[in-house]
């Protein structure tokens, strides 16, 4: 799968071109209501996309930007027996952003917004909102990631988007329902991009 990214003043569109062994995702692009051109971490973008598109990835994968060798290795290990290899490895060290504390990841398709004083990254479906709203301790970003749920849904699509947006939310640890039962390879994957995962 080959990913490419277009950013304008209001949103980011990440397009996909499936390769020889990938399954076709339900929609051809990920539409995020936030311009991501200021993001420092290509690794987090790659890890987030790998999780969101994990139901369909197989074979070579090329992310919008080159990723570090460790992250590429951890992505391959995450897919286990399904052969996934990352092309486009950076020839220099990539920075790992450092956030501050826990941020609750809230899927607004499943539950309502928490109280305004709670640190949260709220993921809104495009049927409810568009763009980005930042208020108090919270950042609400609209996207179409809800259409990229696998069968059956594992929650990895919202976790993946939260990883992409973690730097915007200044997160160090993501509080996400999927933390209940994650394979060790997922924790290692998050570690490679300086993030932790815990349950609410």
Partner 1 sequence: MSELVASVVIGFKDWGLDRLQRCITSVQGSFAEVTVEVIVSDYGSLEGEPVAAAAAEAGARYVRTETDGTWSRSRALNAGFAVARGQQFFATDADMIFTPGALASVSRRLDTNPREAIILQCRDLPPDVAEVPVADTDWQRYERAATIRPRWGMGGLVATHREVFHALRGYDERMHTYGGEDIDFGKRLRRFGVPINWLDQPHIRMYHVWHPSSRLAATLDEAAEAAIGRNRRIHVNDLTTARNRTLSQIAEPRAVPLVSVVAQADRPAGVLRAELSNVLGQSVRDLEVLLVDTGGDGTIVAQQLNDDRVRVVPPPAGGWWHALAQASGTYSILHAPGSWHAPTRLETLLDHTAQRHHMPADAFVTAVATDNGELLPLPAREDAARTSPWSSLLLPTATVQSLLRTFPQGGTDPGDLVVGLLRNGLSVTPVLAPAGAQVLEEGVVSELMLDDMARSAQKLAWRLRAGNLPDEWLFAKPAPAAAREVVRSAQQLMNDQVDLVVWSSDDDVLESLERMADQDTAIHRCEVSDPSGERLMTLLKVAGLSGSLGRALRSQAASSILAGTTRIDTLQDDGEVTGDSSVRWMIEEYSRLYGGDPETAVWVVVRAAEAGAVGRAVQEMERLADVTVVLHRVVHDGTGAPQHVALGLVSAISSSLRSLLSVRASVSQSASVHLWLGQDCDTSLQELAVTSA
57 binds partner 1 per the rule CB under 8 A = yes
Nearest-angstrom CA–CA distance, 158 and 172: 17
Our finding on whether 191 is near partner 1 (CB under 8 A) is no
Residue pair 113/91 in contact (Cβ under 8 Å)? The answer is no
- Which of the stretches 43-51, 52-60, 114-122, 132-140 binds partner 1 when contact is defined by CB under 8 A? 52-60
- Judged by CB, which is closer to partner 1: 25, or 99? 25
Give the binding-site size for partner 1 (rule: CB under 8 A). Answer: 30
User: Looking up tokens 């290795």, which residue turns up?
Assistant: 73
Decide if 29 contacts 148 (C-beta within 8 A).
Answer: no
Contacting residues for 161 by C-beta, under 8 A, at least 6 apart = 30, 32, 48, 52, 123, 141, 143, 145
62 near partner 1 (CB under 8 A):
no
For residue 74, the SS3 value is: helix
CA pair distance 55, 45, nearest whole angstrom: 17
Tokens read off for 86: 């990352």
144/172 with CB nearer partner 1: 144
Print the binding letters for residues 133-162 with partner 1: x by CB under 8 A, - otherwise. Answer: -----------x-xx-xxxx----------
Regarding 131 and contact with partner 1 (CB under 8 A), the answer is no
CA dist 56 and 54 (Å) reads 5
Round to whole Å and give the CA distance between 196 and 96.
13
Cα 169 to chain center, whole Å?
Answer: 13
Residue 25 binds to partner 1 (criterion: CB under 8 A): yes
Cβ nearer to partner 1, comparing 96 with 133: 133
Query: Site map for partner 1, 71-110, x if CB under 8 A?
Result: ----------xxx-------------------------x-
In this complex, which beta carbon is closest to partner 1, that of residue 13 or of residue 70?
13
Is 21 a binding residue for partner 1 by CB under 8 A? The answer is yes
Site residues for partner 1 per CB under 8 A: 18, 21-29, 31, 55-58, 81-83, 109, 125-128, 144, 146-147, 149-152
């Amino acid at each position: 799968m080959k990913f490419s990214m277009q950013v304008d003043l209001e949103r980011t569109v990440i397009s996909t071109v499936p390769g020889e062994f990938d399954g076709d995702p339900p929609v051809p692009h990920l539409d995020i209501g936030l311009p991501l051109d200021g993001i420092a971490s290509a690794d987090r973008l790659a890890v987030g996309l790998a999780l969101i598109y994990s139901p369909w990835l197989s074979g070579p994968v090329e992310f919008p930007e080159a990723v570090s060798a460790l992250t590429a290795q951890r992505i391959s290990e995450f897919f286990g027996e399904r052969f996934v290899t990352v092309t486009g490895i950076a020839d220099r060290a990539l920075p790992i952003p450092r956030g501050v504390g826990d941020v609750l990841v809230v899927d607004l398709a499943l539950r309502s917004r928490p109280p305004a004083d709670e640190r949260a990254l709220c993921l809104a479906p495009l049927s409810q909102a568009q763009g980005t709203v930042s208020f108090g301790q919270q950042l609400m970003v609209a996207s179409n990631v809800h259409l990229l749920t696998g069968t059956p849904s594992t929650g990895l699509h919202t976790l993946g988007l939260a990883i992409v947006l973690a730097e915007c939310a200044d997160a160090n640890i993501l509080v996400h329902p999927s933390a209940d039962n994650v394979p060790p390879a997922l924790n290692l994957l998050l570690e490679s991009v300086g993030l932790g995962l815990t349950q609410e």
